[in-house]
Amino acid sequence: MTIQQAQTDVDQWIKTVGVRYFNELTNLGILMEEVGELSRLMVRTYGEQSFKETDKGKDLEDEMADVLWVLICLANQTGVDLTDALQKNFEKKNLRDGERHQQNEKLNK
């Protein structure tokens, strides 16, 4: 599935099963909630915090997909073509960071 196809599929799902999009600010809040759930799982899986009973059964893949879903909703609502945006972001990073990381002593130990 391409990013563009994902944007189309999410839009179709929202308009048929989901009835309509939540407004942009509601979706921004939902995005923050989903990022928090992903963060909680990452901290417990790769960090130093231990799992609680309520954390068990959570799936990293599913939490990442939840974040992506809401981000796609926001892109659709605001007219952002994520494929184009990501391509532009690569260009920006290549110009800005093309040599910076190669010369970073902290990364080259």
pLDDT at 20: 97
**Considering the domain boundaries, does residue 97 fall inside one?**
no
Full residue range of the structural domain in which residue 21 is found: 3-78
Rg (CA), the chain: 18
Total domains present in the chain: 1
pLDDT at 98: 75
pLDDT by residue for the chain (109 residues), tens digit each? 999 999 999 999 999 999 999 999 999 999 999 999 999 999 999 999 999 888 888 999 999 999 999 999 999 999 999 999 999 999 999 988 877 778 888 888 7
Question: How many CA atoms does the CB half-sphere of 73 hold within 13 Å?
Answer: 22
**Considering the domain boundaries, does residue 87 fall inside one?**
no
Tokens of 88: 């532009």
Indicate which CATH number applies to the domain containing 70: 1.10.287.1080
pLDDT at 100: 79
**Considering the domain boundaries, does residue 100 fall inside one?**
no
**Considering the domain boundaries, does residue 101 fall inside one?**
no
Tell me if 64 sits within 8 A of 38, measured CB to CB: yes
